[in-house]
A and B are shown apart, each in its own frame.
Chain A
Amino acid sequence: MTRTIAEINEKIAKGQAVVVTAEEVIDIAKKKGIARAAQEIDVVTTGTFGPMCSSGAYFNLGHSKPRMKIGGGTAYLNNVPAYTGLAAVDIFLGATAMPDDDPRNKIHPGDFPYGGGHVIEELVAGKDVKLVATSYGTDCYPRRKVETLINLKSINEAVLFNVRNAYQNYNVAVNLSDRTIYTYMGVLKPHLGNATYSTAGQLSPLFNDPLYKTIGIGTKIFLGGGIGYVAWHGTQHHPDVPRTDKGVPKRGAGTLAVIGDLKQMKPRWLIGTSFIGYGCTMTVGIGIPIPILSEEILMYTTVKDDEIFAPIVDYSDAYPQRNPDILGEVDYAQLRSGKIKVKGKDVPTASLSSYPRAVEIANLLKDWIKKGQFLLTQPVAPLPGLESGITFKPMPDRPFDKID
């Protein structure tokens, strides 16, 4: 059995495509077998909804009168600094940026109530945001200061551009020390008091296409409630990790850089997020359709939580010290059961990514496709695979005085 994306799109346009979610396909394939399921199903939809720090948005603010070169100056949106090292009125706001006067961790653990992700959420909700920008003045751009309200309707482009999202697998975080620690994996209680994890597991996009056979550059996706595209492989994409027989990575592996029109997005799917003692970020919703081009592709989408393994990592010492030791591996069915065993101890588990919202995304995308509102795209180039030789480089310390 083989099928092309063009054939699938014809069926979608006629409203005849058979679309199921990555959760539903598991039972269908179990009942009917891989071959028959692959015959019947055209598209499997995936979803994930979790904190994704390498997210942000760029904006073209429009030109004030007189003109002002914000590029090379400073720009703040609701007091959160944006990057201005671009042309006169293009700025980039990162999800983890926070106000200059936020006390950070001066009193530990810091609160981090508001940052770039929260600004993006407010903009997407249609709210006005305060822009304060300063610059030095030039002959062609004389203005030196602007203070004005902006919103998504008043500015030119507003584009979500996330350089690393949808991590294919992630660590399970625990704390072996004798004090509570505050991490990007949440609050970790001492002596293995809890374990946190962050993935949609069997619904997660890259677990359903573990060897990147359909998802590539140019793949059209659900992004933040609107439509986006895979722009590139994400930063830290490194496919060469231990994998199961079915190719599912047992460590963090592939990642995606994604892009989309912020003006179409919805605040339900882009949420400003705060990690006590760590910082601000944004929770992002992503859904990716998998075209069932062959039985092999369908087989990959039948992956279940008990076939996906993650490493257990001590965030009190091994992680901060970049020590590669792990405390073992667990599968996602165990994690979702509410407790796992680490060093012989029962440890309660908590998820940072929302499974119910991942289900909702996969179902929304399914509806869009079934109604003929969302056609699939053929990637213009594949993501780097195992053959790419990409390695995950650390940063060695090289003292300046060694420069010749």
Chain B
Amino acid sequence: MNIARKIVLRFPPRLVDQPIIYRLVKDYDLQFNILKASVTPNEEGILVLELSGKKKDYDEAIRFLAEAGVEVQALIKDVSRLEERCTHCGACVTMCPVGALVVNPQTRRVDFLENKCIACGLCIKPCPVRAMEVRL
């Protein structure tokens, strides 16, 4: 059975210079489509991928990633902001890997640019008042 999944991968610094994605293709025969990547040498890397291939291969590849120390998370469908709850403190802005949460220099409020959001979910738990919500 063939499947296609969108996932978020977080690489610890020690893995950033490893050819992890190459192994997914070579050893597990998966196709990948990079939706978003933010990888800097010696730091954490974040990769949003669509992986497709045989389910058995996919499951083994996910196990390989987890054992290698890569955090794997399913891409959630949608992130929204509870406008009543958000205090516009700005704690989220350095969590968002794609600049979808930015402080507006004029208003000093945090703008949520929904068209930029890749729904990786990295802003959810760091929000001190938990104003960011996942819709599955």
Contacts and interface: CB of A to CB of B under 8 A. Distances in A.
Interface of A: 49-51, 109, 111, 113, 178-180, 186-187, 189-191, 193-196, 271-276, 283, 336, 338, 348-357, 359
Contacts of A187: 95, 125-126
A352 B91 contact: yes
Interface string B93-111: 1110000000101011100
Contact of B89 (A109, A348, A353): A353
23 contacts: A50-B89, A179-B12, A187-B95, A189-B94, A194-B94, A196-B94, A271-B129, A273-B128, A276-B126, A283-B128, A283-B129, A336-B108, A338-B93, A338-B105, A348-B93, A350-B91, A350-B93, A351-B89, A351-B103, A352-B91, A354-B88, A354-B90, A356-B87
B78 interface: no
Nearest to B90: A351
Given A271-B85, A351-B90, 9 more contacts: A111-B125, A179-B13, A186-B128, A187-B126, A194-B94, A273-B128, A338-B93, A354-B88, A354-B90
A376 to B, nearest CB: 28
A111 B85 CA distance: 18
Contacts of B89: 49-50, 351-354, 357
Interface of B: 12-14, 42-44, 85, 87-95, 103, 105, 107-109, 125-126, 128-130
Contacts of B107: 356
Nearest to A273: B128
B92 A350 contact: yes
Contacts of A356: 87-88, 107-109
Contacts of B85: 271
A274 B128 contact: yes
Contact of A357 (B87, B93, B95, B128): B87
B128 A113 contact: no
Contacts of A51: 128
Contact of B94 (A191, A349, A357): A349
A43 B93 CA distance: 35
A178 B13 contact: yes
A354 B129 CA distance: 11
A357 B84 CA distance: 13
Which 8 pairs across A and B sit closest by C-beta, in order of nearness? A194-B94, A354-B89, A354-B87, A351-B90, A276-B125, A350-B94, A187-B126, A356-B88
B131 to A, nearest CB: 10
B42 to A, nearest CB: 6
Contact of B126 (A186, A336, A348, A351): A186
A3 B103 CA distance: 40
Contacts of A275: 128
Most buried by A among B87, B88, B126, B130: B87
A194 B93 CA distance: 10
Contact of B13 (A191, A274, A336): A191
Nearest to A269: B87
A74 B126 CA distance: 32
Nearest to A184: B128
B27 to A, nearest CB: 27
Contact of A351 (B13, B14, B91): B91
A314 to B, nearest CB: 16
Nearest to B124: A276
Contacts of B129: 271-274, 283
A357 B93 CA distance: 17
B67 to A, nearest CB: 18
A49 B27 CA distance: 53
A181 B9 CA distance: 18
Contacts of B109: 356
B94 to A, nearest CB: 4
Given A348-B93, A355-B108, A191 B126 contact: no
A113 B88 contact: no
B12 to A, nearest CB: 7
Contacts of A189: 43-44, 94
A117 to B, nearest CB: 10
Contacts of A272: 129
A354 B93 CA distance: 13
A180 B44 CA distance: 9
Contacts of B94: 189, 193-196, 348-350
Nearest to B87: A354
A304 to B, nearest CB: 15
Contact of A283 (B87, B93, B108): B87
A191 B13 CA distance: 10
Contacts of A348: 93-94
A112 B128 CA distance: 10
Contacts of A350: 90-95
A51 B127 CA distance: 12
Nearest to B92: A350
Nearest to B43: A191
Given A187-B126, A275-B128, A193 B44 contact: yes
